[in-house]
Structure 1
């Protein structure tokens, strides 16, 4: 993304952050995850806690379980129902309140997905090809791109705009998707609504924390198998962290550029303890990698103790989870139905 566009996005993030501080109840947030496996500590530190904090401030949270997006780059959905319920259990354990947050599954809101049709009329083939997600897949995939993956940016725009969300928490790599959504909203208002605002242009709420790496030193990802799952036991967590990459230097220092693996472990411990990475590095000092890993194990297990107790209880009640999801689906469907009716009216298709 060009520096100018990135600077504009940062300014939008600052503005919406300041507006949330002043009047949180005037904002609606859209966020979510693909149900491709259990959530991990990267999700917890970078997104789950942000969602709960926004909810507690009074922002209206819409939380999407993007089940249709599971099939955009794979041949089958796998254990999708179990993965959906696993995500939901972590959402609730983290503190999302189904009485305040609308938690719903993509495939259960047909009116949302119907918005794809008019939105597709507002983007060009070339624009879709330039989207980083699509571009990366075009370069890396050994097989033809599915139509669903190619139109993923438009699908994501529908996810955000169906509920007229104006706040979307994202990392820097997601900024092009937010800009595409803003463009679609702007073009719809101009082309079909005679310039009136049917859809607001959503603002990114940037996560300024450091990205959490996996135990292999690469990006933490469910597909890489390098995660520390929220659903893991304390012993499983300890085993995973002991395998984490560090380096051969005996003294622990916080130097993200020079010692990324060591810095990553310090960042994880900092995220769960609230103490700075620099302070933690000084405390470990000459203890080396083994002492650092012991610190991280204790920090993660203690930091997730309450979450895991809640999660175990919630996950055991499958019918409760399904009922929460059905209620959220119904709430999202009502919102999407109203939006679709408005779209049909301004497009003179309300017959």
Structure 2
């Protein structure tokens, strides 16, 4: 695995901030997908999760499946377990070791290969975290305050006060992305403002500390996924914290119970109409994703047989689809030493990258004493 990506690699595919609106990002993503197919080795991806609980089907079809796809195409993939970002959630932080181990198990079970992808913990990479101070100097409080994703995080935190850690979350994310000089970040459209902070920091650092036009950091691009929106069993967004999700580690019986209790609507005839029948359509979509079929055809096959038939089909499809993932997860869980070793190896590789980058940052800033 390479530990340094030439900054010019991404420079020739970067776009300006003004072009990073959702329609433009979708067009650009199509171009990037073609570039990935032609030459996957020119890209490095940074992606990851906060360790707040076991991953679920929304995560799988939203992001995890895409990570494995990129890995299989030959894209170098860095997967960060963003443990520092849960320090604002005291109830979660108290079980951090357990949650981190669960994430590694989920990653390995769904096909992330530690020989081809690097799984690492944010807190284990000191040089990465040292980038936070110079990066904070490049972004204003007003710019952070305007970030809509930060506002949403704060509103959902249900806390009486906001910590500096939560407020500077986009800058932490910038350090995660730029320490390894990732030039591609798979995101949903709601995460574009976060990525724009990273892009802004990269451009400002290069302008302020670049020597003779040289750029230290690539300006990373968004790879917008066409990820389907799966609702939780209560009809709201699927979420670890709401208890409405089917986790990858759930047993077949638990999955059946959760799907039986899933919210639908009074209409007996099953159709796929996400705008007007969101709960029913989400179940139809889940079955379609697991079966590899068009959701309209899945709905058509069920027709007038109603919600019971739909839930029966979804249960069977999900359990069959997840059976190999669950089997592998169970086998991996029996060897916790291997799971810990995967994380130690990933941390070692990420540390080597971060230390190289920090040395370059110090040289650029004239702080290499």
**TM-score under structure 1 normalisation?**
0.97
Q: Aligned residue for 1:84?
A: 100
Per-residue CA deviation, residues 67-92 of structure 1 (Å, 9 max, x unaligned), is 11111344661211111111111111
Q: 1:246 touches 1:289 (CA, 8 Å); kept in 2?
A: yes
Query: Are positions 1:178 and 2:195 aligned together?
Result: yes
Q: Between 72-81 and 239-248, report the one with greater CA deviation.
A: 72-81
Per-residue CA deviation, residues 196-219 of structure 1 (Å, 9 max, x unaligned), is 211111111111132111100101
Q: Aligned residue for 2:364?
A: 346
* SS of aligned partner of 1:72: coil
Q: 1:170 touches 1:204 (CA, 8 Å); kept in 2?
A: yes
Q: Aligned residue for 2:240?
A: 222
Q: 1:73 touches 1:146 (CA, 8 Å); kept in 2?
A: no
Q: Between 186-195 and 35-44, report the one with greater CA deviation.
A: 186-195
Q: 1:67 touches 1:105 (CA, 8 Å); kept in 2?
A: yes
Q: 2:149 touches 2:193 (CA, 8 Å); kept in 1?
A: no
Q: 1:254 touches 1:263 (CA, 8 Å); kept in 2?
A: yes
Query: Are positions 1:103 and 2:119 aligned together?
Result: yes
Q: Between 191-200 and 60-69, report the one with greater CA deviation.
A: 191-200
1:106-121 to 2 correspondences below 5 Å: 106-121=122-137
Aligned mate of 2:67, from 51, 59, 67: 51
Per-residue CA deviation, residues 178-237 of structure 1 (Å, 9 max, x unaligned), is 111111111110011244211111111111132111100101010111110111100000
Q: Aligned residue for 1:247?
A: 265
Q: 1:73 touches 1:149 (CA, 8 Å); kept in 2?
A: no
How far apart, in 2, do the equivalents of 1:346 and 1:70 lie? Answer: 32
Q: Aligned residue for 2:5?
A: none
RMSD: 1.6
Q: CA separation of 1:282/1:75 partners in 2, compared to 1, >3 Å: closer, same or farther? A: closer
Q: Between 186-195 and 19-28, report the one with greater CA deviation.
A: 186-195
* SS of aligned partner of 2:357: helix
Q: 1:38 touches 1:230 (CA, 8 Å); kept in 2?
A: yes
* SS of aligned partner of 1:254: coil
Structure 1 residues without counterparts, runs of 5 or longer = none
* SS of aligned partner of 1:224: coil
Q: CA separation of 1:4/1:320 partners in 2, compared to 1, >3 Å: closer, same or farther? A: closer
Query: Are positions 1:24 and 2:40 aligned together?
Result: yes
Report how far residue 271 of structure 1 moved. 1.3
Query: Are positions 1:129 and 2:130 aligned together?
Result: no
How far apart, in 2, do the equivalents of 1:165 and 1:4 lie? Answer: 17
1:185-334 to 2 correspondences below 5 Å: 185-194=202-211, 195-334=213-352
* SS of aligned partner of 1:188: helix
Q: 2:121 touches 2:343 (CA, 8 Å); kept in 1?
A: yes
Q: CA separation of 1:83/1:137 partners in 2, compared to 1, >3 Å: closer, same or farther? A: closer
Aligned mate of 1:168, from 173, 185, 190: 185
**Count of aligned pairs between the two proteins:** 351
How far apart, in 2, do the equivalents of 1:76 and 1:267 lie? Answer: 31
How far apart, in 1, do the equivalents of 2:316 and 2:218 lie? Answer: 45
Q: Aligned residue for 2:26?
A: 10
* SS of aligned partner of 2:21: helix
How far apart, in 2, do the equivalents of 1:111 and 1:94 lie? Answer: 30
Q: Aligned residue for 1:159?
A: 176
* SS of aligned partner of 1:168: strand
